[in-house]
Amino acid sequence: MAEQQTWQWSTRVGVQAVESESVLYGALKRGMDIVLSALLIVFLFPLLLLIALLIKLDSRGPVIFSQERVGAKRQRMGRHRVCVERNFTFYKFRSMVQNADPSLHQAYIKDFVEGRVQPSPGSGKFKLTNDPRVTRVGRFLRKFSLDELPQLFNVLKGDMSLVGPRPVPTYEVAGYLPRHHNRFAALPGITGWWQVKGRCRVSFEEMIRMDLDYIRCASFWLDLKILFLTITAVLSRRGAE
């Protein structure tokens, strides 16, 4: 059984105190993040260059899309290790037209967080479909999750982990209730329990529950299991658009 973690949310100081966590697990997790992300960047470098070229040939604009996202950062506060909720710059390959209007996605996310979104008929996904802002190359990248590859640099920087709750836009967090902030008790990840088990097929509240389940049961072996399941999820294109 994975070592349990408990935390307390303080709306005044904006931190979650992790009362029990294996120091060894933290060291192993960070070591795996550095080694695997560095190896993947080197191994996938030709693919990264090819994707960059295709994006430039397909539409005007930068190759990399950067956005302010909300995640967590580990630090010490007195005798405790805590997760501090904070914003950071998040990287993806650009899959939309340059200067795409964000209002469409912002309105969708607001309805999703507030429980007004129903799964799309046929696909059963909680996802904005047929988005006219997505480019031809962007649709292909999203289908195979290739637009996520630049996040490997976020992992190297320490802003993210390979495994953890997904980092979210600031406009999503604006609609959170206090209890929803508990998902920031772990470093955000490229993949996670929601991504391999729910990804766009569960409601917002179920997504939060899955993130909290991961945080409570986090272990090195669970992270390895999620990474393995991510490979099968990507190859099957489950939940991708």
DSSP per-residue letters across 109-174: HHHHHTT---PPTTT---S--S-TTB-HHHHHHHHTTGGGTTHHHHHHHTS-EEESSPPEEHHHHT
Q: How many CB atoms lie within 10 A of CB 217?
A: 14
Specify if 14 maps to a domain: no
The torsion angles phi and psi of 20, rounded to 5 degrees, stand at -145, 115
Q: Quick one: pLDDT at residue 11? A: 37
Specify if 241 maps to a domain: no
Q: Quick one: pLDDT at residue 138? A: 95
Specify if 18 maps to a domain: no
The torsion angles phi and psi of 76, rounded to 5 degrees, stand at -95, 140
Specify if 6 maps to a domain: no
Q: Quick one: pLDDT at residue 140? A: 94
Specify if 4 maps to a domain: no
Specify if 17 maps to a domain: no
Low-confidence ranges of the chain (pLDDT < 70): 1-21, 77-81, 120-126, 237-241
Specify if 37 maps to a domain: yes
Q: Quick one: pLDDT at residue 118? A: 76
Q: What Rg do the C-alpha atoms of the chain give, in angstroms?
A: 18
3-state secondary structure of 175: coil
Specify if 11 maps to a domain: no
How many domains does the chain divide into?
A: 1
Report pTM: 0.85
Q: Quick one: pLDDT at residue 6? A: 38
Q: Quick one: pLDDT at residue 23? A: 78
3-state secondary structure of 13: coil
Q: Quick one: pLDDT at residue 3? A: 38
Domain membership of residue 32 as a residue range: 23-236
CA 132 vs. chain centroid, Å, equals 23
Q: Quick one: pLDDT at residue 9? A: 42
Tokens describing residue 149 = 């590859």
Q: Quick one: pLDDT at residue 148? A: 95
